[in-house]
Structure 1
Amino acid sequence: MEVTVRQGDSLWYYSQLFGVPLPLMLDSNHIDLQKMIKIGDQVKIPGFMEESYKIKSGDTIWKLAQERNIHMDALLLLNPQQPNSMRLQEGETITLPLRITERVIRAKKEYNYSCLVEDLKVLEEFFPFIKVRSIGQSVLGKDLYELKIGNGPKKVHMNGSFHANEWITTAIIMQFVNDFLFSLTNNGSIQGIYMLPFYHEVTLSIVPMVNPDGVDLVLTGPPEQEPYRTMVMDINKGSFDFSNWKANIQGVDLNNQYPAYWDIEKERKEPKEPAPRDYPGDEPLTEPEAIAIAKHTETGDFARVLAFHTQGKEMYWGYQDLEPKEAGLIAKEFERVSGYKAIQHIDSHAGYRDWFIYKWKRPGYTIELGEGVNPLPLSQYDEIYKSSLGIFLASLYM
């Protein structure tokens, strides 16, 4: 929602008028406390939307403000043509500010790349203090979006859908993002934990969909572009059932692409050429999606990373005993709040988590959401979100 600045207005006043924390006001409008707003400027109010209202007999600005628990000046700000003491004209339409108190996106669905793009636009509109940018492109030219929330010194990175048929991880991540954002604008809590302090303590970096080409392949079928359409049909032996596909559109498993004993993984993996799953490529970091995440991580200075996968209701947190002691303490907390089993060592190399721990000696986690056969059904969605919510929160406060 946007308002036009009047004489004497300030961002601090708007913060008080709408009950929105001042830091969110500042970041929504990309200004700091030293910069003054001017009469006639357009200012974004996060966490609100405009609602049209047709005047009924007996309505006044004061009466509407009282009924909706809105400060009367908030109504006058959106309707500058209306005198505050005047009885409104029945049948005319005015604008009311409507606070967002529930989710503005619905992620519980077959969540493809178009869903992600649309939902990011919605979140940017209603919560303009977030930062959305592209960190690279997929093989087919789809932007790999990063969403950033907060300004804190502790930097935490999360990502989802490294594997194509694990697209439900993106939906789960986006639902958490929505819940986090409206808790911030409403000075609210999640599971009894007050969220606003984390905006100042943590910078949260999220790449919700690492493998958009693969996700769309699983959910909507082969692309129209050649040679990729022919390529995936050949790899999939002519079948239009891509439910078992984990790789990117070129048949390379993005989570086997990282230079952490990659040669061991290359030698022992059964596929020796592009395949629906497990083929690590001809050498490390050949695929644009894997390269983009690697570059993003190299410049991000992340204190920890969480890569969300499916399935197994467990998490992996060690690699070659290179992880710091604090990694185990965080894993125990993740286990406590989710019920997922924390496993330190597995026989794995060349994964994103492996590489992060190998290179930076910092905590890294692979979270295996849900249980069953990929792709997990939407019937598990609510239970997965309930279990994983504690992990999302603990990643901020631990």
Structure 2
Amino acid sequence: MMISVRPGDTLSYYSKLFRIPVNLIEEANPKVDSSNLKVAEKIVIPGYVTVPYTIQAGNTIWELAITNKIAEDTLFLLNPTKDVDQLKVGETLFVPEKIVTPFVKFHSPLNYKRLEKLIQSFKKVYPFIRVTTIGTSVEGKPIQEIRIGKGAKKIHINASFHANEWITTMVLMSIVNNYLLSLTNGTVMNGQKVNQWYEDIELSIVPMVNPDGVDLVVDGPPAKLQRKLIEINDGCDDFIHWKANISGVDLNNQFPANWDICRKNKLPKAPAPRDFPGEAPLTEPEAIAMAKLAENNRFDLIIALHTQGEEFYWGYEGYEPEEAEALAKEIEYFSGYQAIRYVKSHAGYKDWFIQEFKRPGFTIELGKGINPLPLSQFPEILKRGEAIFSAVLSH
């Protein structure tokens, strides 16, 4: 929501007027000199949208403020050219409306196009977030990253490495949505106050690592690749269980953490719907983008959301640091998921991160059943996912 600066206005005053933390207003307006606001300068207020209201007989500024639970001066700010002391029946007045419910309401699987629209909605209402492109998929779709907070501790969470695990993107975007709502409304997540998280942590989110694969599972193959993909899919035109990227490479078998062992042990020796690790590590653009992201940021810890199993893995070949065990116990306690230190698996993103940086990494297997998990599990999976999110950011 945009307003214009008046003589004497300050960001602190806007913070009190709209009940939004001043640091969120400052970071939503990075080019504004908060100590020297200029009259008529445009300021974005996060967490709000403007809605038109048609004046009815008997309406007054005071009555509209009471009805909408807002301060009277917000109406003056949003309607600077109108004589709000002399409201005219039929005239349109703009009223600030605070966003208090999630954008994310899923009744069907989330494909890449819907994800893009959702990210743009977040960016519009919560302009203190930063959205960047870290790379592109095989088919040229931007792989987007969302950044929240500017703290010294850096935490990364990703979803949908695997195409048929698209529900992880829905869970992660819902968690992010609830986090943003808590920041702008002063509410809690899982009993935790979130403002300190924002101050202490820079959160990196990649909600869909494998956009081509997700679209293949959700929407079917693009016409130009249909014949090739059906051939890779053993002649089947049903891609519901497809796990790999659009080239038939399993992105979570692409990282240089004993990749040669992974290649030797995995049965597919050519592009396949799942498990083929490629001809070499880091051949796929999606995997390359994720590796560069970690190398350029040196995250303090990473979480990769997968399905299914209601368990999580937190060690790799003894490279995991001592503090990882304490956090694993917390995640286990708050989520109810079983903590497993080692599994006979290599070349995963978590494996490589632990080996490369000697910092905590976790692969979380959300839910239980056969992938893709049904949307009927979404509420319970989200509940466990938020518990994990809160445990990690509070640790």
In the other structure, the counterpart of 2:81 is 81
Q: 1:250 aligns with which of 247, 267, 270?
A: 247
| CA 270–172 in structure 1, closer or farther in 2 if over 3 Å, else same | same
In the other structure, the counterpart of 2:274 is 277
Matching of residues 41-190 of structure 1 within 5 Å: 41-86=41-86, 88-190=87-189
- Measured after TM superposition, the shift of residue 51 of structure 1 is 1.1
In the other structure, the counterpart of 2:17 is 17
Q: 2:381 aligns with which of 359, 380, 384?
A: 384
Q: Percent identity?
A: 50
The one-character-per-residue Cα deviations of 1:215-254 (angstroms, maximum 9, x if unpaired) are 00001111133xx333212101332211111000000000
- Measured after TM superposition, the shift of residue 108 of structure 1 is 4.7
Contact 2:10 2:34 in 1 (8 A): no
Partner SS, residue 223 of structure 2: coil
Partner SS, residue 89 of structure 1: coil
* AA in 2 matched with 1:340: Y
In the other structure, the counterpart of 1:368 is 365
| CA 37–109 in structure 1, closer or farther in 2 if over 3 Å, else same | farther
Partner SS, residue 347 of structure 2: coil
Deviates more, 1:36-45 or 1:309-318: 36-45
Contact 2:298 2:357 in 1 (8 A): no
The one-character-per-residue Cα deviations of 1:164-186 (angstroms, maximum 9, x if unpaired) are 00000000000001000011011
Q: 2:315 aligns with which of 318, 332, 346?
A: 318
In the other structure, the counterpart of 1:397 is 394
Matching of residues 197-208 of structure 1 within 5 Å: 197-208=196-207
Q: 1:333 aligns with which of 323, 327, 330?
A: 330
* AA in 2 matched with 1:344: R
Q: 2:343 aligns with which of 338, 342, 346?
A: 346
Normalising to structure 2: TM-score of the pair? 0.98
- Measured after TM superposition, the shift of residue 67 of structure 1 is 2.1
Contact 2:131 2:145 in 1 (8 A): yes
The one-character-per-residue Cα deviations of 1:244-274 (angstroms, maximum 9, x if unpaired) are 1100000000000000000001011100000
Distance 2:274 2:368 in 1: 19
- Measured after TM superposition, the shift of residue 38 of structure 1 is 1.5
The one-character-per-residue Cα deviations of 1:294-314 (angstroms, maximum 9, x if unpaired) are 000101110000000000000
Matching of residues 26-41 of structure 1 within 5 Å: 26-31=26-31, 36-41=36-41
Partner SS, residue 309 of structure 2: coil
Normalising to structure 1: TM-score of the pair? 0.97
- Measured after TM superposition, the shift of residue 34 of structure 1 is 5.4
| CA 109–37 in structure 1, closer or farther in 2 if over 3 Å, else same | farther
The one-character-per-residue Cα deviations of 1:103-147 (angstroms, maximum 9, x if unpaired) are 123245211101110100100011000000100000000000000
Distance 2:221 2:342 in 1: 37
The one-character-per-residue Cα deviations of 1:372-392 (angstroms, maximum 9, x if unpaired) are 000000010001001111101
Tell me the matched-pair count: 395
Matched, 1:222 2:233: no
Partner SS, residue 46 of structure 2: coil
Distance 1:384 1:246 in 2: 20
| CA 108–158 in structure 1, closer or farther in 2 if over 3 Å, else same | farther
- Measured after TM superposition, the shift of residue 5 of structure 1 is 1.5
Contact 1:247 1:278 in 2 (8 A): yes
Partner SS, residue 236 of structure 2: coil
In the other structure, the counterpart of 1:309 is 306
Partner SS, residue 222 of structure 2: coil
Contact 1:322 1:357 in 2 (8 A): yes
The one-character-per-residue Cα deviations of 1:339-359 (angstroms, maximum 9, x if unpaired) are 000000100110000000011
* AA in 2 matched with 1:334: I
Matched, 1:357 2:338: no
* AA in 2 matched with 1:177: V
* AA in 1 matched with 2:250: D
Partner SS, residue 363 of structure 2: strand
List runs of 5+ in structure 2 lacking aligned partners.
Answer: none
* AA in 2 matched with 1:168: I
Contact 1:112 1:216 in 2 (8 A): yes
List runs of 5+ in structure 1 lacking aligned partners.
Answer: none
Distance 2:235 2:268 in 1: 18
In the other structure, the counterpart of 1:268 is 265
| CA 194–89 in structure 1, closer or farther in 2 if over 3 Å, else same | same
Deviates more, 1:72-81 or 1:231-240: 231-240
The one-character-per-residue Cα deviations of 1:139-168 (angstroms, maximum 9, x if unpaired) are 000000000000100000000000000000
Partner SS, residue 278 of structure 1: coil
- Measured after TM superposition, the shift of residue 39 of structure 1 is 1.6
* AA in 2 matched with 1:378: L
Q: CA RMSD in A?
A: 1.2
* AA in 1 matched with 2:76: L
Distance 2:196 2:186 in 1: 10
Distance 1:372 1:145 in 2: 29
In the other structure, the counterpart of 2:293 is 296
- Measured after TM superposition, the shift of residue 33 of structure 1 is 5.7
